[in-house]
Structure 1
Amino acid sequence: MMISPEKQQLIGVQVSTVTEEPLTRTIVTVGQITYDETRLARIQARVEGWIEQVFVDFTGKWVKKGQPLLRVYSPELLSTQRELLIAKRAKDSLGTSAFPEISANAQSLYEATRDRLRLWDISDGQIRELEKRGTPTRTMTLFAPVEGFVLTRNALRGQRITPEMELYTIADLSTIWVLADIYEYEVPLIHLGQPATMTFPYFPGKTFTGKVTFIYPQLDNQTRTLKVRLQFPNVDHQLKPDMYASVSFPIDYGRKLAVPESAVLDSGTRQIVFIAREDGHFEPRTVQLGAKVNDRFIIESGLTVGEKIVTSGNFLIDSESQLKAAMSGMTGHEH
């Protein structure tokens, strides 16, 4: 179809050249900070007994790795220490026995008693100290296995404890997780290891950098969103669990052949772009669209670099084309 330059100007036709261009966009969503579940430690005693002394007596306290938490009196532990000292004396005295079986039995009993203490979290260093001292200790001290903050405390002085009781929960907050919701149409753009940034209104000018570490398998049926888990370093402990943040995912599509959104006419069954010829002719061309990036469509097929396309006034060109086609049909019918 041909349109005169005057009419093109009247209907506001604008033309641009198809090019390949670098395309990027950013997905922005809300994230909530939570604990890194791999850095949670739950403290339990391996023996039955009674708490004699509590060293860490409130939640929120920061503890170092190896810091004493509480002291436990355990009759069973006391008895086993005595057994070890007796077994060691027997091993030492019978080690040079002329009867190998007696020597081997003494060694076996000693090793079995040591193993029982190890199963109760008594370290080799503590066992060596016991053997050097020669007398059992009345109590056992539980130490923090990790550095972090005390989340829960269920240890009270005088309390009877059993192995299944959780006495403390300690969280290492040097790394935190962030859970973010992604709309289902954005899910294909997110992948493991993808970088992300996080900002807070109360940390102006500060940006935290992390990455996607897990994409949950199930979609929320109500919100049509998928949870994505990110990991961020938190060495200075500025970030606290349950804080809300703005999370941004930069998406890089690379260099793509793309056209402005305004250049595409969608008929419902196909997408059309008008090609502008030098002689004033306009040719409708069916194209296959890819992703929409900001105000541009990626073109999968139908156009080549260097072609001239209509970016404004194409709706009126389409109307003019349909009108001319209808009039042509009427003229043909009259003949």
Structure 2
Amino acid sequence: MKGAPETMLAVLLGAAIGAGAYALYSSRQAAPAPVAPVAGDAASMAKPAAEERKVLYWHDPMVPGQRFDKPGKSPFMDMDLVPVYDDQAAAGTVAVDPRVLQNIGVRYANVESRSDAPQLAAVGNVRFDETRTVSLQARVGGYIERQSVRATGQPVTRGQVLAEITAPEFVQAQDELLLARRLNDALLVDAARSRLSLLGMSDRQIDELAASGRVQRSVAIIAPASGIVTEIVARPGMNVAAGAPLFVFAALDSVWVVAEVPERDAASIASGSAAQISFPAFPGESFKGRVEFIYPDVTAATRTASVRIALPNPRGRLRPGMLATVQVGGATTRPALWLPSEAVITTGNRSLVLLAEEPGRFRPVDVVTGAERDGRIEIRQGLAEGARVVASGQFLIDSEASLKGVLTRMTPESPPGAPSAALAQGRVDAIDRDKLRITLSHGVIPSVSMPAMTMGFPVDPPALLQGVEPGQQVEFDVVRRDGDLVVTTLRAHGAAQAHRH
């Protein structure tokens, strides 16, 4: 059969073609399919791998309010300035729409450096001038026969007789003078006159005795100056000994004004500082004086220091006990950084401000404050001159309108069970357990925006160092205390648990 071979050849050829097609199909199914390029990846591949990021400015993380236009060494610490890039996420900041800021009326203030002579306001009162206080004593023992001043507060004038004392010794001394004159013995006369003078008799009274020859039975107690009687010891009929106190009185031609100054302001006042005093009893009038003395102690109940100002009082208008308002000029202060007091948020154990880094973006910064007066507060650490901070509206920026809300919302929260993003990573280089210090080679510390470096830190509490040895990898965090960075959280890798404080 002629057609049989041809038919057989066609069948074999078809089988071969089918086998080849099946093999090709199987190989394509086994090979991985090519992945279509993602548009973003293609764009990334199109960019140069080492494209330089744009630097906005350089700064010292320890003084975040100060910016620099070029790199270099920090003028505040021995470290290089750190660049801040335009695409860098600002950790610990809060962003607010500028339109919202305008609607809620947020005001700003710049940190200013200035030195001044502050005017310190204080409240005081008028007191007797203790240097003008006189105590009268009996020169001779005897009985108080008559007394013209019997109540405290009674005014007396110079030369006024306050009381009379009958004393046998006084009578005997007068008889001795008269006898010496009759004997015409000059030495005895001088001795008798001296004795009478010591017993309280004036030269005029002695001359009258010598001229008249009449012996006086009593010696007069005479006021040596004008003033107010503040204490009476003697009473008519009392038997007093020589040297016993009889009266105490104070002159009013000069008085003291003692003002109470808050202890935080006392250091700026010096002896000789000018003072201006006004009294509710004399509205519209003011009296000028100078600080004469600063008392060395502080009143525990009021936490105030007393300063003394002497005022002349020739007409006796100023009376002890009068209320006084005092303005004292403090000494010129050293240049310092100042902010409006309302810009500082105090939480009890820390003080912070909201630093305006750029329009609509703020960052809380811990500060150390100093003196406060006239609505302004001194900034000793944390900010640099020229830094711009929020002066009002801090709580409006935080949606919860509470200080706790400000602090929590400005700090990113970690999901439950996740490691804290605020902890820094580092290696322990050395430990001084006696001085409670640890030296760490660490990366960036997010809580204080500190760059990577090797640095020693004090540790508090001491228990944090238990189980930690040099060479271990640790997670830790720091806080600012008295101008220093203190490790308060420390966890060694592989430890059973973290020590926290």
Output the TM-score relative to the length of structure 2: 0.49
TM-aligned CA deviation for residue 46 of structure 1: 0.8
**Alignment pair present for 1:28 and 2:122:** yes
Which residue of the other structure, out of 252, 258, 270, is the alignment partner of 1:173? 252
The one-letter code sitting in structure 1 at the alignment partner of 2:157 is K
Which runs of 5 or more structure 2 residues have no equivalent in the other structure? 1-89, 399-405, 422-501
- What SS class does the counterpart of residue 245 from structure 2 fall into? coil
The one-letter code sitting in structure 1 at the alignment partner of 2:242 is P
Are residues 76 and 10 of structure 1, via their aligned partners in 2, closer, same or farther at CA, if it must alter by over 3 Å? Answer: same
Are residues 145 and 221 of structure 1, via their aligned partners in 2, closer, same or farther at CA, if it must alter by over 3 Å? Answer: same
- What SS class does the counterpart of residue 100 from structure 2 fall into? helix
- The root-mean-square deviation of aligned C-alpha atoms, in Å, is 4.4
**Alignment pair present for 1:8 and 2:113:** no
User: C-alpha distance in 2, partners of 1:319/1:168?
Assistant: 67
TM-aligned CA deviation for residue 248 of structure 1: 2.9
**Alignment pair present for 1:148 and 2:238:** no
- What SS class does the counterpart of residue 292 from structure 1 fall into? strand
**Alignment pair present for 1:274 and 2:361:** no
User: C-alpha distance in 1, partners of 2:150/2:361?
Assistant: 84
User: C-alpha distance in 2, partners of 1:121/1:20?
Assistant: 67
**Alignment pair present for 1:290 and 2:370:** yes
User: C-alpha distance in 2, partners of 1:18/1:37?
Assistant: 47
Q: Is the 8 A contact 2:95 2:362 kept in 1?
A: no
**Alignment pair present for 1:82 and 2:175:** yes
The one-letter code sitting in structure 2 at the alignment partner of 1:35 is F
User: C-alpha distance in 2, partners of 1:111/1:288?
Assistant: 77
Superposed, 1:1-335 pairs within 5 Å as: 1=90, 7-12=97-102, 14-21=107-114, 22=116, 24=118, 26-29=120-123, 31-56=124-149, 59-88=152-181, 90=183, 92=184, 107=187, 109-131=188-210, 133=211, 135-138=213-216, 139-153=218-232, 160-243=239-322, 245-250=323-328, 252=330, 254=333, 256-264=336-344, 268=349, 271-272=352-353, 274=355, 276=357, 287-301=367-381, 303-312=383-392, 316=397, 322=410
- What SS class does the counterpart of residue 86 from structure 1 fall into? helix
User: C-alpha distance in 2, partners of 1:293/1:152?
Assistant: 42
The one-letter code sitting in structure 2 at the alignment partner of 1:142 is I
The one-letter code sitting in structure 1 at the alignment partner of 2:132 is R
How many residues matched?
312
Q: Is the 8 A contact 1:273 1:286 kept in 2?
A: no
Are residues 273 and 291 of structure 1, via their aligned partners in 2, closer, same or farther at CA, if it must alter by over 3 Å? Answer: farther
The one-letter code sitting in structure 1 at the alignment partner of 2:101 is I
My pick for the range that moved more, 184-193 or 34-43, is: 184-193
The one-letter code sitting in structure 2 at the alignment partner of 1:135 is G
User: C-alpha distance in 2, partners of 1:23/1:312?
Assistant: 27
User: C-alpha distance in 2, partners of 1:194/1:50?
Assistant: 51
- What SS class does the counterpart of residue 97 from structure 2 fall into? helix
- What SS class does the counterpart of residue 114 from structure 1 fall into? helix
- What SS class does the counterpart of residue 167 from structure 1 fall into? strand
User: C-alpha distance in 1, partners of 2:141/2:163?
Assistant: 14
Are residues 216 and 269 of structure 1, via their aligned partners in 2, closer, same or farther at CA, if it must alter by over 3 Å? Answer: same
TM-aligned CA deviation for residue 259 of structure 1: 1.6
Q: Is the 8 A contact 1:274 1:314 kept in 2?
A: no
User: C-alpha distance in 1, partners of 2:240/2:407?
Assistant: 84
Counting aligned pairs with the same residue, the percent is 32
Structure showing greater radius of gyration is: 2
The one-letter code sitting in structure 1 at the alignment partner of 2:379 is I
The one-letter code sitting in structure 2 at the alignment partner of 1:235 is P
Which deviations, in whole Å up to 9, do the C-alpha atoms of 1:176-204 show, x marking residues without a partner? 33455445445445544444454444433
- What SS class does the counterpart of residue 206 from structure 1 fall into? coil
Q: Is the 8 A contact 1:276 1:310 kept in 2?
A: no
Higher RCO structure (Cα 8 Å, ≥6 apart): 1
Q: Is the 8 A contact 1:15 1:312 kept in 2?
A: yes
Q: Is the 8 A contact 1:27 1:251 kept in 2?
A: no
Q: Is the 8 A contact 1:275 1:283 kept in 2?
A: yes
- What SS class does the counterpart of residue 316 from structure 2 fall into? coil
The one-letter code sitting in structure 1 at the alignment partner of 2:255 is I
Q: Is the 8 A contact 1:15 1:276 kept in 2?
A: no
User: C-alpha distance in 1, partners of 2:256/2:94?
Assistant: 62
User: C-alpha distance in 1, partners of 2:371/2:212?
Assistant: 76
Are residues 72 and 260 of structure 1, via their aligned partners in 2, closer, same or farther at CA, if it must alter by over 3 Å? Answer: closer
TM-aligned CA deviation for residue 33 of structure 1: 3.5
TM-aligned CA deviation for residue 145 of structure 1: 0.7
TM-aligned CA deviation for residue 7 of structure 1: 2.2
The one-letter code sitting in structure 2 at the alignment partner of 1:122 is M
The one-letter code sitting in structure 2 at the alignment partner of 1:294 is D
